[in-house]
Amino acid sequence: MEHALLPPSSAARVIQCPASLFMCSQFPETDDNPKALEGTQAHEVILADMQGQDVPSFATEEMLEGAEMWRDTLRPMMESSGALIHLEERVDCFEIHPDNWGTPDAWAYDEMTATLHVWDYKFGHRHVEAFENWQLINYAAGIWTSGGYNVSNFELTIVQPRSYHADGPVRSWSVDRVQMEGYISRLKSAWEASLLPEPPTHTGKNCRDCSARHACPTLQEGALIAVEMSGQNVPFDLNENAIGRELHLLKSAQELLEYRIEGLESEVLGRIKQGKSIRGWMTKQGEGREKWNKPIDEVLALGEMMGIDIKKPTAITPKQAIKAGLPAELVRTYTEVPIGEIKLIPDDGTAARAAFHK
């Protein structure tokens, strides 16, 4: 699949740290990331659903529920204004930079209200904010400037079915034309800075999504400074201003440490998978959730034969079936436990000693 040199999906990270564009190109994401694969599959499901095609066989119940939420979010626009919904169409953002283009999940222009709507579907659990969402801003800027639409307002929406947040799974943010022009100016400056011979590096919350965070000297320095500061004595009688400021500082330091740790964990896990030995660390094969490996009709027939109701309205989970009274040994013959993620765990030598002394 072709990728843009300056992709809108990286806009928030580049706004924070222009150097991240080059650094991430040196350490690209691997293809075996389970979360990335799940997100890709979820997007295939919502596209097939919206286009009236057969849903892919890999679709999970959560993906199907997400597709329904996506459809219900876009339906009012189709019914109220009759505006054409553009799905997964390439948008060129020439006004920002010739190499800045991407594929928004959905967008529509409502001519009656002069409003440009852009939607983005996120299947992950981590909350994604609609306010000043730079990916959506970048998409909207490209649609507006390349399409020549007379836009007065921009409605940018995040649809995130698995984000259990007080604002709900569907969150929107509105911005007017004048404000959008200001955001476009900031995007231009950030992308131009990212192409400089020696772009600057800056730490912040977007380090979490940087594939080069394990190799970033600025993040390393910030994290190590945070570790060093954690050993200093601090008086307990802080006034209200001081205690509030310190809490902010420590929270920021905690985030830097988490980002650095996540980056190093990913790199160590990758090297161990390549057969390299990393002192103090080992991997462990995880297990997925137990599921039925027989046709549902056969599973329900088993419950009826044993005189136990395992419908909900289809078959309940294997664990629930055991609690309902089906013998665990019998259930095991009807189920399987898929292989889960390979996890990184500390290795103090205990596992090796245990294996040696068996």
Instruction: Please state, in angstroms and rounded to a whole number, the distance separating the CA atoms of residues 96 and 194.
Output: 13
Q: What number is the average pLDDT over the span 141-156?
A: 95
pLDDT value at residue 150 = 95
- For 7, 143, 147, the CA distances from 90, given in Å and listed in that order, are 11, 10, 12
- For 67, 198, 200, 201, 253, the CA distances from 217, given in Å and listed in that order, are 41, 14, 12, 9, 16
pLDDT value at residue 355 = 47
Instruction: Please state, in angstroms and rounded to a whole number, the distance separating the CA atoms of residues 45 and 64.
Output: 7
- Longest Cα–Cα distance of the chain, Å, equals 77
φ and ψ of 209, to 5 deg: -100, 15
Same domain assignment for residues 19 and 132: yes
In terms of residue numbers, what domain contains 347? 281-356
Residue 76 inside a domain? The answer is yes
Q: What number is the average pLDDT over the span 89-96?
A: 94
pLDDT value at residue 48 = 95
Same domain assignment for residues 290 and 322: yes
Same domain assignment for residues 124 and 188: yes
Tokens found for residue 305:
């034969």
pLDDT band of residue 254 (cuts 50, 70, 90) is confident
pLDDT value at residue 261 = 84
Residue 3 inside a domain? The answer is no
Same domain assignment for residues 145 and 32: yes
pLDDT band of residue 354 (cuts 50, 70, 90) is very low
Same domain assignment for residues 343 and 213: no
pLDDT band of residue 46 (cuts 50, 70, 90) is very high
**275 or 89: which leads in pLDDT:** 89
Same domain assignment for residues 56 and 178: yes
How many domains does one find in the chain?
3
Residue 13 inside a domain? The answer is yes
Q: Of 10-14, 136-140, 221-225, 303-307, which gets the smallest average pLDDT?
A: 221-225
Same domain assignment for residues 174 and 72: yes
Same domain assignment for residues 175 and 258: no
Residue 52 inside a domain? The answer is yes
Q: What number is the average pLDDT over the span 188-201?
A: 93
Same domain assignment for residues 167 and 253: no
Residue 290 inside a domain? The answer is yes
Domain boundary among 216, 250, 273: 273
Same domain assignment for residues 39 and 87: yes
Same domain assignment for residues 117 and 216: no
Q: What number is the average pLDDT over the span 215-238?
A: 68
Instruction: Please state, in angstroms and rounded to a whole number, the distance separating the CA atoms of residues 268 and 259.
Output: 14
Question: Distance between alpha carbon 332 and the CA centroid of its chain, in Å?
Answer: 34
We report the CATH number of the domain holding residue 124 as 3.90.320.10
Cβ-based neighbour number of residue 242 at 10 Å = 12
* pLDDT(75) > 70: yes
Residue 1 inside a domain? The answer is no
Same domain assignment for residues 39 and 99: yes
Q: Of 34-38, 77-81, 293-297, 323-327, which gets the smallest average pLDDT?
A: 77-81
Domain boundary among 143, 159, 194: 194
- For 51, 99, 281, the CA distances from 102, given in Å and listed in that order, are 20, 10, 39
User: Residue 266: which H helix or E strand, with range?
Assistant: helix 240-273
Cβ-based neighbour number of residue 306 at 10 Å = 15
Residue 199 inside a domain? The answer is no
Instruction: Please state, in angstroms and rounded to a whole number, the distance separating the CA atoms of residues 100 and 223.
Output: 32
Residue 2 inside a domain? The answer is no
Q: What number is the average pLDDT over the span 226-249?
A: 66
Percent of the chain with pLDDT over 90: 43
Sign of the alpha-carbon dihedral angle for 106, 117, 95, 128: negative
Domain boundary among 252, 273, 294: 273
Sign of the alpha-carbon dihedral angle for 140, 143, 148, 151: negative
The strand pairing partners of 292, in sequence order, are 335
Q: Are strands 106-110 and 86-87 parallel, antiparallel or unpaired?
A: antiparallel
What one-letter code names the amino acid at 106? A
